[in-house]
Amino acid sequence: MNLYHKLKWVDSNYLCPNCKRLLYSRIGEKEDVCIERNCLMYLSDLIFHDVNQAYGLRKEMEETESELKLRIMQTDRKLFAGFLQQQRKIVAKSILREGEALFKRLLAIDEMLVLLNSLNIEGSKHDLSLFEEIMHGYMDFFDKMCFIEDMENKRVLLSTDNRVYMLKYWNVIMQFYQTYGIVAAGESDRESVFRYAEISKQTREKKEFQLGMELGELFEQEFDFIAAIKYVFERYHRTSKLHSYDPSGLDIVVLLALSFSIKDDVEYWLHESLNRLYTINTKGKGNFGQFISEYVFSLEKAPIIVFDGEFYIVDRETILLYINYLIGRNRRMVEGQSGTGAERIMKKKQEASRIFEKYIRNHLRVCGFKVNDEPIVVSEHNEQHEYDVIGVKEDTREIVLVEAKYRDFSPSSLTGETLLQQELLDQENGLLSEAIKHQARLVFFRKYPERFIHELSLKSLFKSYFVSTWIVTKHPPLISRYKQVSITVFDDFCNSFKVR
């Protein structure tokens, strides 16, 4: 079945009404464009650069990279390593304290730290202003490479008359980054940053760290922060690769122990001291060589601990920041660990999604609806359906059937090439299949009224009620309707029902 037929019953502001592919728009302009050449909506004078054919640009970037490498190789390795460590620490500190920072700077520094491991650096230049110049040069290079990646995966398109077109849905994704605080300092709109803060607060209990405590338990309270860090580190393909650690519970224990033993702003550790800390905290069960090759000397992954040729330079903020990220990636268990970090984070997300359902119920109640406290399961003739929320308002004879979807985007789906498939069309998690299921619930509801008259103790004839069907989402959804199902973000859902 082609895309148009699959999405025939769908309304969306983000899809072309003619071919149902993703729309693009110019920043600050209202007109949307379809980029499908075979589509009737396509404007023939609009031609986009094919970044894969941009050999000149690639050559230019390669030259810039070689120049930067050359400049790095002329530095005094020890001092330059210390400088980068210090710069990264400043960003890490700001992320932990303020919840926002110049993330791109952090990611660019991570790349430079890998270069530090892989280049043969024997220079003697130690001028601070030169270090800063190299760093800014590299950040500029990194930024351009990210822009090229954005073009490659069609988040952004550049027309031949040099206008930038963004995926229209990108505005929603930017808002989503903002709710997680993943925006550069000063860019964010504080109001939307804290839109869902209440929900994560409710799933959080303050816990103090005690030795011997289950690690996952300590970090559970940070689950939304952990999710945010994942989006930062995995926003681009090149940064995902840079952070593709596969940590065991033991690795995290060691890094945590290290962070707690740091007393000064920045400390310089000798090989023997780090080895000793490792052996004590792993009770001899780990492999120190493997540990440092993954987290210090890797030629592909960003070093969490910086080695300056003599010392391991460590600071608490940087290590804590990376631990938060590692917890979310922890899939390998060690003896005595009762659940992986990834599982615990998942559990927390489910908890948040139940609270979200509760918010929906509460809103309907203040609007005069009688609402079930728990999902209602009804079966008849081998067919079974679960209803998250059913609200009944007797005086106006209204019934609402609501399905709550408190879900974030998967980091890999946030490109022009994957968004439609992963967020909308995916058989398991896609919004379309959710909508089809919910439409089936409505059909079932109408087919077996007697079951519901009893279940909901309706006071009037079933036929006399007006039934509306909703899917309520955490972020503005890609589609706004499927057949009789309205699909809407929480705030808009609330505005559709007046408080009494």
Residues at the contact surface with Zn ion, assessed by CB under 5 A: 16, 18-19, 34, 36, 39, 41
Which is nearer to Zn ion, 41 or 54 (by Cβ)?
41
Could you tell me how many residues make up the chain? 500
CB of 166 to Zn ion, least distance (A): 17
Minimum CB distance to Zn ion smaller for 19 or for 242 = 19
The least CB distance from residue 54 to Zn ion, in Å, is 25
The residue (of 4 and 209) whose beta carbon lies closer to Zn ion is 4
The β-bridge relationship of strands 370-371 and 389-393 is antiparallel
Q: Using the minimum distance from each CB to Zn ion, give the nearer residue, 6 or 271.
A: 6
Nearer to Zn ion, 4 or 260 (CB): 4
The Cα 47–Cα 162 span in angstroms is: 10
Query: In the complex, what is the shortest distance from the CB of residue 384 to Zn ion, in angstroms, rounded to a whole number?
Result: 39
Strands across the sheet with 481-482, in order?
10-11, 481-482, 485-489, 466-473, 398-405, 389-393, 370-371
Q: Find the shortest distance in angstroms from Cβ 36 to Zn ion.
A: 5
Eight-class DSSP state of 422:
I
How far is Cα 342 from Cα 334, in angstroms, rounded to an integer?
Answer: 14
Instruction: Tell me the one-letter amino acid at 458.
Output: L
Rg (CA), the chain: 26
Residue with Cβ nearer Zn ion (39 or 96): 39
Cβ atoms 187, 167 nearer than 8 A: no
Give the count of beta carbons closer than 10 Å to the beta carbon of residue 414. Answer: 22
Nearer to Zn ion among residue 45 and residue 428 (C-beta): 45
**In terms of CB distance, is 39 or 443 closer to Zn ion?**
39
- Smallest distance from the beta carbon of 18 to Zn ion, in angstroms? 4
Q: Which of 310, 314, 323, 209 is nearest to 263 (CA)?
A: 314
Distance separating alpha carbons of residues 165 and 184, to the nearest angstrom: 21
Rounded CA-CA distance 454/458 in Å is 7
CB nearer to Zn ion: give 16 or 51.
Answer: 16
Considering the complex, what minimum distance in angstroms separates the CB of residue 96 from Zn ion? 45
Beta carbons within 10 angstroms of residue 125's beta carbon = 15
User: Are β-strands 466-473 and 398-405 bridged in parallel, bridged antiparallel, or unpaired?
Assistant: parallel
Nearest distance, CB of residue 3 and Zn ion, angstroms: 10
At closest approach, how far in Å is the CB of 35 from Zn ion? 8
- Rounded CA gap, 458 and 2, in Å? 43
Whether residue 332 contacts residue 339, with contact meaning beta carbons closer than 8 Å, is answered with no
Provide, rounded to whole angstroms, the least separation between the CB of residue 20 and Zn ion: 7
State which amino acid sits at residue 143: D
Do 332 and 248 form a contact (C-beta atoms < 8 A)?
Answer: yes
